[in-house]
Structure 1
Amino acid sequence: MPPPKDRIAYFYDGDVGNVYFGQNHPMKPHRLCMTHHLVLSYELHKKMEIYRPHKAYPVELAQFHSADYVEFLHRITPDTQHLFATDLARYNLGEDCPVFENLFEFCQIYAGGTLDAARRLNNQSCDIAINWAGGLHHAKKCEASGFCYINDLVLGILELLKYHARVLYIDIDVHHGDGVEEAFYFTDRVMTVSFHKYGDLFFPGTGDVKNIGEREGRYYAINVPLKDGIDDASFTRLFKTIIAKVVETYLPGAIVLQCGADSLAGDRLGCFNLSIEGHAECVKFVKKFNLPLLVTGGGGYTKENVARCWTVETGVLLDTELPNEIPDNEYIKYFAPDYSLKIQGGNLENLNSKTYLSTIKVQVMESLRCIQHAPGVQLQEVPPDFYIPDFDEDEQNPDERISQHIRDKNIQREDEYYDGDNDNDHNVEDGL
């Protein structure tokens, strides 16, 4: 008998792609709509459970972020920002991290997706959970950074730690996963592994191979700093060698995989030569460990290639090979002129010599050898999932203004696809 298929939960809210960072800003959340429609056009939704995430509550966001920062994000608007010059500077809002219409709701949706994904994994109601809107790995406890406002990955990992003694975080974005590494730098309960371009002039400027964690977290931060032009063969060989050793040594109970697509060839901000197949090979490799797996998006600034990449990787997680010819969909014109799914590797000069990559690998393996065995955790009571007050709609005073929470519960969007007779009955999750 063939082994049972993985149960895959996929989180998406159409509103997440409607926000606009500004005309010249490289971050285009519209790429999330393009990805979703491409996933639909390949009919991958029929093989997954599709959920609309709840909008994360401020109290949930404050599990990692400072309450004053969350409150400021909630309060600030494009019309009022001129009144808060000091606070904008304190929280690092400005050119890279602009204040735009519906900023806080955007954060609530993408963070809610990652929280819901972690909770479904914890409850064993799925084996793999996907939130392409998540993966915003630069946000810090008290400030925005690198187009990221709320660090959904840290929130998701904290949720997984309620049920798992050890969580492994893997990051294949072209930029260093600094916000996640910093959050867990002093603990052995999370191992962070980031493969990224490293250089003084490349954002965020952190992620040297020598940065390995401190105190209880010493040796539990792994950095794989790379130079321009790395290709599929070099990247995947290094990735598989290191990740296989990490899993064997650390024995994680769950894995969080950040699939930033700016490591692809031709990215507007990236400088690697990876093809989609090379990028997806990493996803395929991580899936083979058969551990609870939370998959997110991240960077990616050539939006048609982002949509291609995350659609292919949705297919990989479903063990489904996709035809190269893109089916008709609402955004088909973006994939002209050849309308093909795969993109080739680039032809930038590969500055990563075999000697350089070998040196990095040796240093990483040396760190892993310093870990005697997977750290244990004392037994403790599992903290509850956040209690979010619900409302008995029958007891609501009809003269009172309907709260946003209740209004959200009654919405059925026309541009989202959920299998089933009544979306609000089975395949939409509006809250916890």
Structure 2
Amino acid sequence: RYHQRVLYIDIDIHHGDGVEEAFYTTDRVMTVSFHKYGEYFPGTGDLRDIGAGKGKYYAVNYPLRDGIDDESYEAIFKPVISKVMETFQPSAVVLQCGSDSLSGDRLGCFNLTIKGHAKCVEFVKSFNLPMLMLGGGGYTIRNVARCWTYETAVALDTEIPNELPYNDYFEYFGPDFKLHISPSNMTNQNTNEYLEKIKQRLFENLRMLPHAPGVQMQPIPEDAVQEDSGDEEEDDPEKRISIRNSNKRISCDEEFSDSEDEGEGGRKNVANFKKAKRVKAEEEKEEEEKKGE
């Protein structure tokens, strides 16, 4: 199926550099990435990376520091995605659910729980748009399985218990054998001031975007166009057109017309059109001869 505008959202801890680069110069796809930035792979995803050419302002990057928790993540994710939806108005969404942003990931440095991570899925789903969910990073395998199981349930509006059912891999989920995980005591280095500053900068960039075509209507000022009095509808079609309505009509002398009220010269046709041009040419020639004398 064809979609006019597609929104790509990346909640993997790493910057979504590949997808961003693929669509960096188009306005058909907007990429939004929430990621760890700084001395961290792949080293891209600066706030100032906003796209280029037709794609300028269609790349949205939210650089984060270590230790972001559920509360802080939700506080930035919801308003940013709401603003993106309002401005870009996509017809479909691709959500990349990398689970290396969870607490306890071998390579990650965020402090999200599975419920906090899944709130992103729940929120994007609330817009009732076609949504494709993808996997992504994740290096503590048992938590990857937990996360994507729960988020699949969220996508399907299905409740599942916290107690894990017995299976061939049950021993990997010890010692608690639960679906959900607890956050660690790591410090959240993302202060409210820092997060708010980044958010406002992103909002400023989004305000630079044109409205989605065919969606937003701009009101016409009341004094821009004079209201039609409706005289033309009231006129009797059997009677000659009024002078007032005749004056509204703009016609070019060099155009043909079937109007029966053409003033001097009457109705125009090919013969008198050519004649008018010939007379005009002769007059111009006479003026040039007079100037030469």
Q: TM-score w.r.t. structure 1 length?
A: 0.49
Is residue 86 of structure 2 the alignment partner of residue 253 of structure 1? no
Equivalent in the alignment of 2:247: none
One-letter identity of the residue aligned with 1:346: S
Give me the CA root mean square deviation: 1.2
Aligned residue for 1:257, secondary structure, equals strand
**Which of structures 1 and 2 has the larger relative contact order (alpha carbons within 8 angstroms, sep 6+)?**
1
Is residue 7 of structure 2 the alignment partner of residue 168 of structure 1? yes
Is residue 13 of structure 2 the alignment partner of residue 192 of structure 1? no
Deviations 1:168-204, CA, capped at 9 Å, x for gaps: 00000000000000000000000000000000x2000
Shift of 1:288: 0.6
Equivalent pair of 1:230/1:351 in contact (CA under 8 Å): yes
Deviations 1:304-341, CA, capped at 9 Å, x for gaps: 00000000001100111211000011211111111000
Measured in 2, the distance between the counterparts of 1:236 and 1:297 equals 20
Measured in 1, the distance between the counterparts of 2:122 and 2:159 equals 12
Shift of 1:346: 2.3
Structure 2: 5+ residue stretches without partners: 215-293
Equivalent pair of 1:265/1:273 in contact (CA under 8 Å): yes
Equivalent pair of 1:272/1:346 in contact (CA under 8 Å): no
Is residue 182 of structure 2 the alignment partner of residue 339 of structure 1? no
Aligned residue for 2:193, secondary structure, equals helix
Equivalent in the alignment of 2:285: none
Measured in 2, the distance between the counterparts of 1:253 and 1:260 equals 23
Aligned residue for 1:211, secondary structure, equals coil
What count of residue pairs does the alignment treat as equivalent? 215
Deviations 1:14-52, CA, capped at 9 Å, x for gaps: xxxxxxxxxxxxxxxxxxxxxxxxxxxxxxxxxxxxxxx
One-letter identity of the residue aligned with 1:327: P
Structure 1: 5+ residue stretches without partners: 1-121, 123-162, 377-432
Change (3 A) 1:311 1:299: same
Measured in 2, the distance between the counterparts of 1:375 and 1:167 equals 14
Equivalent in the alignment of 1:315: 153
Equivalent pair of 1:212/1:220 in contact (CA under 8 Å): yes
Aligned residue for 1:363, secondary structure, equals helix
Q: 1:303 aligns with which of 134, 141, 156?
A: 141
Q: 2:59 aligns with which of 217, 221, 225?
A: 221
Q: 1:177 aligns with which of 13, 16, 25?
A: 16
Equivalent in the alignment of 1:267: 105
Is residue 119 of structure 2 the alignment partner of residue 281 of structure 1? yes
Measured in 2, the distance between the counterparts of 1:172 and 1:347 equals 21
Measured in 1, the distance between the counterparts of 2:186 and 2:213 equals 42
Aligned residue for 1:295, secondary structure, equals strand
Equivalent pair of 1:167/1:255 in contact (CA under 8 Å): yes
Measured in 1, the distance between the counterparts of 2:84 and 2:107 equals 29
Is residue 190 of structure 2 the alignment partner of residue 362 of structure 1? no
Measured in 2, the distance between the counterparts of 1:362 and 1:211 equals 15
Measured in 2, the distance between the counterparts of 1:375 and 1:367 equals 18
Equivalent pair of 1:275/1:346 in contact (CA under 8 Å): no
Equivalent pair of 1:164/1:253 in contact (CA under 8 Å): yes
Equivalent in the alignment of 1:350: 188
What does residue range 129-144 of structure 1 map to in structure 2 within 5 Å? Answer: none
Measured in 1, the distance between the counterparts of 2:86 and 2:22 equals 24
Shift of 1:344: 1.3
Measured in 1, the distance between the counterparts of 2:184 and 2:164 equals 21
Q: Which runs of 4+ in 1 moved over 3 A?
A: none
Measured in 2, the distance between the counterparts of 1:345 and 1:217 equals 38
Shift of 1:375: 4.6
Equivalent pair of 1:189/1:375 in contact (CA under 8 Å): no
